[in-house]
Amino acid sequence: MAIGLTRYWVRAFEAVALALFLAIALLSWRLSKGPLPLDAISPYIENALAGAQPGVSLKIGHASLNWTSLLEQPTLTVEDVRAVDRKGVVAVLPRMVVQLSVAAFMRGTIAPEAVVLTNPTLRVARHADGTFTLGFEPPSTTTQPSESEETPVDSNAFATGLISALTQPADADNRAAYLSSIAITDTRLVMFDEKSGRRWLVPKASLTLSRAGPDVVLNATLPVIDDEKPWSINVSGRYAAQAKTLALSLKLDGFRPAGIAGLAPQLAPLSAIDLRVSGTVSASLMLLESAARMDRLDFDLKGDHGLLRLPAPAARDYPVRSLAAKGSISSAFDRIALDQLHLEMDGGDEHGMSLTVSGLGDKLNTQPVVSADIAIDDLSLKALKSYWPAGIKENARSWIAANLNNGGLSQTHMHVALAGPSLDALAVSDLDGSSVLSGVSVNYLKGLPQVEDTFAVMRLTPGEVTLALSEGHVPDSLSGKGLLIHDGLIRMFDLGSNHEQARVTLNLAGDLGEAMRLIDYKPLGYASAMGIDPSKVTGGAKVHLDFTFPLISDLKLDQLRIAVTANVDGAKVPDAALGQPLTDSHLSMALDGAGMDVKGTVALAGIPATIVWRENFGGGAFRSRYEVDSVLGNAARSLVGLTADIFAPPYIDGPARTHMVYVAKRDGTGTIESEADLKDAALFINQFGWHKDAGIPAQATVTAKLVQNHLAQVSAFHLTSGDVADISGSASFTDTGAVKSLVLAKGDAGDSHFTGELILGDDGVYHLKVRGAAFNSTYFWSELGHDEARENADASKTKTPLEIQAAFDRMWLAKDGDFRNVRLIFRQGVGGIEHVDFASNVDGAAPFTFILDPQDGKRLFHGASTDGGGVVRAVGLFSDFAGGNLTINGELLPDGSVKGKAEITNLKVTQAPVLARLLSVASLGGIVDELRGKGISFKLLRVPFTYKKSMITVHNGEMFGSGLGLTGKGTYSFADSIMDFDGTIIPAYTINNALSSIPLLGHLLTGSEKGGGVLAMTYQYRGDVATAQPSVNPLAALTPGILRHIFDIFRGPRPKAAPSQDVPAESAPNEPAAPASNLPGPVPDAGPK
């Protein structure tokens, strides 16, 4: 159709030229006078043109010819020209000026060389299918496009035909080849988008089309009015006829991108750019038969002072100071590449934001994929809060706005990718952003001091925002220093879900006291929960804080999950456990909302130990639990709550490798479960007559209860040492630490096998019941004496009321004798021993009884046995006595000492090393032989004595038989086995003693010494009982008794001995000696027998 129209217009031009040629002679002089009107032949011209284009007729309102000189080109002016088909007006040309080609005229051809269209209304329409049409409208006096019925129905072909005339080759039928340019001046350009309904008016447009070989060059100036605001486009372009492509370059000035956002869904993002821009736009279009389609568009634009309008969910306008954008758009807007978009935001008086964006949108018409890379210049944190739009990661934005302060961001980069089934359904498929923060303060948990001067890297992903901290500190108001941040991470995750979360982790280092103060702030309160005063704690600490909570505005404490871990070196914590300090601690700690776990090595009260510590802050069956492995020495045991006597020397003497579990409850009570390896400790249980040296294996377990850090109960104890000892039981204690009850469930130690129980009655009296098959009391009695000596006990002190009921099948104090079928009742009041009733058998059959009872205000005792030697052996005094009737009487004095007298009649003595040494020195060999043989019989042994503090004093003791008599007085110390005695040896005692009965003469011969004789020798016996050597004065045997001691003046001075507390002989009672409870221990072995 375009070719037909071209021929139509060429025929019109030929007809006009022919008429002019016929009339050239006539018109020559007329033309020289001015333009020649041709209205009279207008119908001829119209008729001549009527057959040029089937269905199209040409109507000319006015025509004139101007040719002033043959040297000039003739010009034909035609006005009010309309091309009409059966549908209506095809084209309206208010005025058309045609310059005729002189070159064609010289060849006998009339052809146009240039065409100028003046004041037409040109219409450019973009249809819903994306195609373009180009046509003309009739002139209008309004500023808006015409809406009259004469609006062209289809002028696209007419307009494109005009353009095609510039591309036609010259031949006989096509004189349009001489056409070199078409100009449209003073035209109104109407641009209309059918889909959006938008219209633009260009009231004073100009357009020039020029032939350039086979192509057409286009230039246009288009001053546009948009929303009553002017802007302009300068267009240059080139139409390639063979390829049917049009390349355009547009220079824009004041263009508003948001104004064309509705032209296509792909251009919708341009709605955000609501400001005037200037720059260049280059486009390539494909011209079709009835439309034009864009192949590519490139733009390079700059603008200033406008708005960046972000759509929902941001839904916010940002003032823009300047903008620069460069990119391209592909065919049908299916691909948009943004090479660079640089925005400088207008922050008013505040620091603005500058950002650079590059991006790509692909497959925008089918399955759109959009990606963008964003770089932001240095930005203050305050500006970030201002520019971060509400609705975009709203909870993360709110948290950052509330908890990050000061400082700023730098090196901010972001990559965003979106995808979806359509542009309206785009969603973020990838987000990767990073930024460096410096000098920022972080409120990581409400109530705790903030982290200051942080250096961090912020990362953004589709569902997560993180801040990786590498510097900063937490200030401490008390020390003025604070904890240093080694690293940390603030992570907001599950963003976009219904359960957005945040997690804050910090690694800090500094003083332990500062760390404890930090975790003691509300809502944590951990140090207070542990009972620790942070101001008194020192040491080094590396702390890891971990908080997790939902990203919601009304966060509650129970929604906060807290975890704290720490490594502590050299820590000192006063009053940490059992009221004792922790020092030199190297610990790892883990805390959360429920409690704390601690592991490591410590020194508890100076005791090196490994510890596992659990502290429950809220619920739980206990408040604190300590599991300690340590070596507890003598002093250390009392420091950890093991204060009972059974945990101290002499019972346990030495180190015990101990595993102890201490549990403290919230009601002030606690329990101790302890296992001890006692191999390296010496054990001495005198009540059992058993001891263990260090190096012999032994184990013990103890389960105890404490109240307010004081021992209240030992619910179970168990001691074993191979098959030698197996002792178990339980005990309880009063508030003051005194024993309340003691149950001995099993008491096997050495040769002792018994059970018993001790109970403190309501009357304040201890009641002890003990029973068993065997009881070795050797150590018990001797240790009692030693304790009295060591303690230097004040007898006036109040005694502990005690009642004992004991029953043993066998009991012994020495290895050479024992008591059988023992029954004992013992009662002690506050003033001391009140009653003793002891009954037993010695040597298997002979009875022995001992009773102490108060009489007339005195505590008198009496003992008797038909086997006195057996009793002496059983109590461990001498192993060389046999037989005899024993009586012992005396008094237990108020100061705790004993005075009394023991007598044994018809006694036989055998071996007796101490006596044998004395007789040997006295040269009484026959008697010695008899002693070492069948023994020496004594008619009587009488020993008046006193006993006090492990020292026995004998007052004028005597023993005599038919062949030998002895007298003696002195002391013996059971503490160190030292004796100091002197006396008289009387051989042939019966004969010698008979002379003493002669009046006057007997006194002169025997002397005043009781039991003395005519022939008698004095002796002294001093030193260790096992090794002492006696001295005898043989001259005394020949001296009358009254002069016998005169020879003592030649002896050396008597060694100074410990005070004997001797009682004068005349004051010695007629009743002999001490109660069983105060009898001395066994005399050590006195040498070879």
791-830 per-position pLDDT tens digit: 444 545 667 788 999 999 998 877 778 899 999 999 988 8
Check residue 906 and give its pLDDT.
93
Q: Give 355 or 889, the one with higher predicted confidence.
A: 889
Residue 591: pLDDT above 60? yes
One DSSP character per residue, 417-473 reads EEE-SSGGG-EEEEEEEEEEEEEEEE--STTSPPEEEEEEEEEEETTEEEEEEEEEE
Residue 786: pLDDT above 80? no
Check residue 1066 and give its pLDDT.
38
Check residue 708 and give its pLDDT.
82
Residue 1014: pLDDT above 70? no
In the beta sheet, which residues pair with residue 303? 277, 323
Please tell me the total number of residues recorded for the chain in this structure. Answer: 1089
Q: Give 334 or 841, the one with higher predicted confidence.
A: 841
Residue 755: pLDDT above 90? yes
Q: How confident is the model at residue 349 (pLDDT cuts 50, 70, 90)?
A: low
Q: How confident is the model at residue 1051 (pLDDT cuts 50, 70, 90)?
A: very low
Q: How confident is the model at residue 1011 (pLDDT cuts 50, 70, 90)?
A: very low
Check residue 499 and give its pLDDT.
85
Alpha-carbon radius of gyration of the chain: 65
Helix (H) or strand (E) holding 814: strand 802-814
Region 995-1016 average pLDDT: 52
Select, from the ranges 140-144, 288-292, 626-630, the one with the highest average predicted confidence (pLDDT): 626-630
Residue 737: pLDDT above 80? no
Parallel, antiparallel, or unpaired for β 802-814 and 766-776?
A: parallel
| Cβ neighbours of residue 601 closer than 8 Å, sequence gap 6 or more | 584, 585, 586, 587, 608, 609, 610, 611
**Cα gap 155→1028, rounded to integer Å:** 154
Residue 1085: pLDDT above 50? no
Give the residue from 941, 934, 935 showing the smallest Cα distance to 905: 941
Buried b (16+ CB within 10 A) or exposed e, 1049-1073: eeeeeeeeeeebbebeeeebbebbb
Check residue 939 and give its pLDDT.
93
**Cα gap 136→364, rounded to integer Å:** 33
H-type alpha helices, 505-556: 512-518, 526-529
Over the stretch 916-931, which tens digit does the pLDDT of each residue have? Answer: 888 887 777 677 777 7
Region 506-524 average pLDDT: 82
| Cβ neighbours of residue 830 closer than 8 Å, sequence gap 6 or more | 798, 799, 800, 801
Residue 549: pLDDT above 80? yes
Region 465-470 average pLDDT: 87
Give the residue from 647, 713, 638, 649 showing the smallest Cα distance to 676: 647
pTM > 0.85: yes or no: no
Q: Give 946 or 101, the one with higher predicted confidence.
A: 946
Q: Give 947 or 578, the one with higher predicted confidence.
A: 947
Give the residue from 407, 413, 384, 414 showing the smallest Cα distance to 397: 384
Q: Give 633 or 825, the one with higher predicted confidence.
A: 825
Give the residue from 140, 175, 177, 121 showing the smallest Cα distance to 11: 175
Region 79-96 average pLDDT: 75
Least-confidence region, from 62-71, 709-718, 764-773, 909-918: 62-71
Q: Give 685 or 338, the one with higher predicted confidence.
A: 338
Residue 835: pLDDT above 50? yes
Secondary structure in 3-state letters for 857-925 = CEEEEEEEECCHHHHHHHHCCCCCEECCEEEEEEEECCCCCEEEEEEEEEEEECCCHHHHHHHHHCCCH
Q: How confident is the model at residue 1082 (pLDDT cuts 50, 70, 90)?
A: very low
Region 767-789 average pLDDT: 71
Over the stretch 496-505, which tens digit does the pLDDT of each residue have? Answer: 788 888 888 8
Residue 84: pLDDT above 90? no
| Cα separations in angstroms, 12 against 52, 166, 340, 1028 | 8, 17, 53, 170
Q: What is the overall mean pLDDT for the chain?
A: 78
| Cβ neighbours of residue 618 closer than 8 Å, sequence gap 6 or more | 593, 594, 595
Check residue 1086 and give its pLDDT.
40
Residue 429: pLDDT above 50? yes
Are 179 and 113 a contacting pair, CB within 8 Å?
Answer: yes
Directed axis angle between helix 156-165 and helix 2-22, to 10°?
Answer: 60
**Cα gap 646→636, rounded to integer Å:** 14
Give the residue from 684, 747, 675 showing the smallest Cα distance to 704: 675
Over the stretch 249-264, which tens digit does the pLDDT of each residue have? Answer: 989 888 888 888 877 7
Percent of the chain scoring above 70 in pLDDT: 79
Tokens of 566: 């720490």
Residue 378: pLDDT above 70? yes
DSSP-based three-state secondary structure for 335: strand
Residue 141: pLDDT above 80? no
Are 829 and 888 a contacting pair, CB within 8 Å?
Answer: no
